[in-house]
Amino acid sequence: MTTATGTPITTRTDGNDPAGAMPLPTRRDEAWRYAPHRDLARLAFGPAPQAVDVPADVLAGIPQLGGPLVVMVNGVVDSELSQLESLPAGLTVHPGGGADGGDSRLAPHTELDAAAPVDAYDALNRSLSGNGVSVLVDAGEQIDPPIHVAHLLHPGDAPNAVCGRVRITLGEASAATVVETHVSVGDLAGGASVRTSIVLEADATLEHLVLQDLSAQQMLLARIEVNQHPRSRLRARSFNLGGRYGRIASQVDLVGEGAEADLAGLYSGSGDQVLDQQPTVVHRAPGCTSRQAYRGVLDDSSTGVFSGGIDVRPGADGTDARQSNDNLLLSRQAEVDTQPRLEILADDIACQHGATVGQLDPTALFYLRTRGMTEDEAGRVLVNAFADQVVEEVRHDAVRDWLSRRLGHDHD
Amino acid sequence: MLEVTNLNASIDGNRILNGIDLSVGSGEVHAVMGPNGSGKSTFAHVLAGREGYEVTGSVALDGADLLEMEPEERAAAGLFLGFQYPVEIPGVNNMYFLRTALNSVRRARGEDEISAREFLAVAREAMALVEMKPDFLERSVNAGFSGGEKKRNEILQMAVMQPRLAVLDETDSGLDIDALRVVASGVEALRGPDRSMIVITHYQRLLEHIRPDVVHVLVDGRIVESGDHTLALHLEEHGYRDFGEQDGAGQRLSGV
């Protein structure tokens, strides 16, 4: 594989880093403070192992969206498992491996690639992931069926960590939904660094969903970069549910006047999971609005992290930015670390942020129990009601049904 | 039907109920009146099984020992508590809530779950009883409800769950005259020979609509006087000071 830009960087992080590679993040790096560094250090990144058998039940376990499906096994598109025949008019999917024929609509992504990597995993991703899969929507087209990119992680012994890459461009005044699912083949320890870059041209509308449900010893390091041009609209929903460590870091740059970014997410952890949300919205143009609304449910000794950035650059007057983070702790050992990161350098802006951390309301539990529910049932009803505020905002029935099953919800 | 004998309750070492004795026969409606802090709400919560109280004495419903039961078991045994402050549960719609509530007590009683069609009929009848709008079933439980809607919802739940004994905790508080009429007529409609009620209230005005068989005066966690409905009129005129209280100026103990 080749990289579009940049210098060769180490392909292994197992302690044999050649001089000049970026050091791995540590607890002292603010953005990585709560990550399980000991487990992360065991990841050895390398090219995807060859010839992986994917049992049919893996694909049966992901939401069946009925539209175009790109299956990536260890970061490489599997054309047999993918369903890319008879794509809707106006939609192009390049399955990567250099087959994009120099499509000019990918140029903005190349520009994004030219920026310095933000950390060692980002650097590794650029070195190892190649072009990845590209999803391109022509100007003025509205693609109704959701476009599903399923990332299957099947770690080998060494390397046990792989890189994936997704590029999405929506042309002017086009609209589409892209769903990225992260699931495991088997339960061997390992991880993936997946980088998604998204360019929304003027007046484009994208709904972008991320479903993370890796197995218990696996880790996802997802990084999502978005560039939004004038009046474009992003509706991003992340569901960070599985894995030893699930990290979803997004940076949304509002570069065009009047762009809107609406980000929300649910993280629901148990055992010793660490679920890390690192959204940042950068207001670079006037009159843009952004919303971050994340909810966490943490049981056992799991840890939830929310570090939400609102960055209002000089000249981004008339910015309207809101952020909220609400958490429910179900056990004494569970932990949540929440912090807003605000940097405001413009005038005439509205900016709100707030965070809550609470437990199940004993009066509400009692109320439900007097109506005949057991303590367990009552607790489940309240947790589901809390989580459903995010789930119910998902417009696609198949995704919502999958989430309801995954979260053990059984009601409308 | 209900036998309460020497019921005591304290919380964090503070005695709130001081030896309540009360006997409610089948089909009877008893009013429990008292000033703020007299233990009215604590009495209701202890009957329904709220955690956090140290409780001694005995409470038997149809001969079964309520104090040994979890709140949900008491519900299955036929006890219903109408809350003074009904809880808002955003994200849970009334349809699901009512159906789950009804089915959980049916299951506990060894009955089959209700079918969707039967349930809708039951729910619509209960909605009509308290004049609830048709969109009620789709709305979240009590979320964004007015004070009157919340209290009407309590009576609606009672109508769906068809309890043996309903304990209505200050169901009249915070209601305007129209809402009071709707709530009271709902309660009246649910009176019957097999259903008893304990109506807890500070004021007499609810009892103008629901005539109780017996009125009890609760002061400092004990019943100091019992009589017929004229006792309520006496209280309306003279306040609680005949019973050693400065008309509700006593220290508020229950905090509920």
The percent of residues in chain B predicted with pLDDT above 90, rounded, is 77
Judged on CB neighbours under 10 Å (0-12, 13-18, 19+), A266 is buried
How far are the Cα atoms of A95, A145, A208, B16 from residue A171, in angstroms, in the given order?
19, 17, 15, 70
Instruction: Identify the CA nearest to B133 among candidates B153, B115, B155.
Output: B153
Which pLDDT score, from 0 to 100, does residue A3 have? 32
Q: Which of A361, A370, A389 sits opposite B81 (nearest CB)?
A: A370
Which pLDDT score, from 0 to 100, does residue B223 have? 95
Task: Please give the structure tokens belonging to residue A260.
Answer: 């809107």
- Inside any domain, residue B254: no
Residue numbers in A near B97 (CB within 8 A): 371
Strand order, beta sheet including B29-33: B79-82, B165-169, B196-201, B29-33, B214-219, B222-227
Amino acid type, B190:
L
- Cα-to-chain-centroid distance, residue B200: 7
Residue numbers in B near A392 (CB within 8 A): 91
Mean residue pLDDT across chain A: 90
Distance (Å, whole) CA B128 – CA B194:
22
- pLDDT tens-digit profile of B134-168? 899 999 999 999 999 999 999 999 999 999 999 99
Q: Calculate how close chain A gets to B242, using CA atoms only, in Å.
A: 35
Query: How wide is the angle at C-alpha B155 spanned by C-alphas B154 and B158, nearest 5°?
Result: 90
Q: Which of A154-163, A254-263, B189-198 has the lowest mean pLDDT?
A: A154-163
Residue numbers in B near A362 (CB within 8 A): 51
Interface check for B83 against chain A (CB to CB < 8 A): the answer is yes
Distance (Å, whole) CA A287 – CA B233:
65
User: DSSP class of residue B85?
Assistant: S
Average pLDDT value for residue range B96-103:
93
Interface check for B152 against chain A (CB to CB < 8 A): the answer is no
Query: In 3-state terms, chain B is what percent helix, strand and coil (to 5)?
Result: 40, 30, 35
CATH number for position B154: 3.40.50.300
Best of A371, A391, A400, A403 to disrupt the B interface (most B CBs within 10 Å) is: A371
CA dihedral A61, A65, A69, A73 (to 10 degrees): -20
Which pLDDT score, from 0 to 100, does residue A411 have? 44
Which pLDDT score, from 0 to 100, does residue A132 have? 85
**Is-contact B92 B140, C-beta < 8 A?**
yes
Which pLDDT score, from 0 to 100, does residue A13 have? 43
Q: Calculate how close chain B gets to A309, using CA atoms only, in Å.
A: 28
**Is-contact A294 A325, C-beta < 8 A?**
yes
pLDDT confidence of A97, banded at 50, 70, 90?
A: low
ipTM score for this prediction: 0.93
Instruction: Return the residue of B nearest to A367 by Cα.
Output: B87
How far are the Cα atoms of A314, B80, B218 from residue B57, in angstroms, in the given order?
71, 20, 17
- pLDDT tens-digit profile of A163-201? 999 999 999 999 999 999 999 998 899 999 999 999 999
Instruction: Return the residue of A nearest to B157 by Cα.
Output: A371
Number of structural domains in chain B? 1
Which pLDDT score, from 0 to 100, does residue A156 have? 83
Residues facing B155 on adjacent strands = none
Average pLDDT value for residue range A90-108:
82
- Inside any domain, residue B255: no
Does residue B244 have a pLDDT over 90?
no
> B150: domain range?
2-243
- Inspect the interface and report whether the beta carbons of B101 and A372 lie closer than 8 Å: yes
- Inspect the interface and report whether the beta carbons of A370 and B72 lie closer than 8 Å: yes
Task: Please give the structure tokens belonging to residue A191.
Answer: 């991880």
Instruction: Identify the CA nearest to A106 among candidates A76, A77, A137.
Output: A137
Which pLDDT score, from 0 to 100, does residue A409 have? 65
- Inspect the interface and report whether the beta carbons of B96 and A363 lie closer than 8 Å: no
- Inspect the interface and report whether the beta carbons of A371 and B49 lie closer than 8 Å: no
Residue numbers in A near B157 (CB within 8 A): 371
Which pLDDT score, from 0 to 100, does residue A102 have? 76
Interface check for B61 against chain A (CB to CB < 8 A): the answer is no
The percent of residues in chain A predicted with pLDDT above 90, rounded, is 77
The pairing of strands A274-283 and A133-137 is unpaired
- pLDDT tens-digit profile of B101-114? 999 889 888 999 99
Which pLDDT score, from 0 to 100, does residue A357 have? 97
Query: How many A-B residue pairs are in contact by the CB < 8 A criterion?
Result: 81
Instruction: Return the residue of B nearest to A410 by Cα.
Output: B96
Give me the residue label for tokens 């509700």: B248
Does residue A100 have a pLDDT over 80?
no
CA dihedral B50, B53, B54, B60 (to 10 degrees): -30
Does residue A403 have a pLDDT over 60?
yes
What are the backbone dihedrals phi and psi of residue A365, each rounded to the nearest 5 degrees, phi first? Answer: -60, -45
Which pLDDT score, from 0 to 100, does residue B216 have? 96
- Inspect the interface and report whether the beta carbons of A374 and B75 lie closer than 8 Å: no
- pLDDT tens-digit profile of A101-120? 678 888 999 888 888 899 99
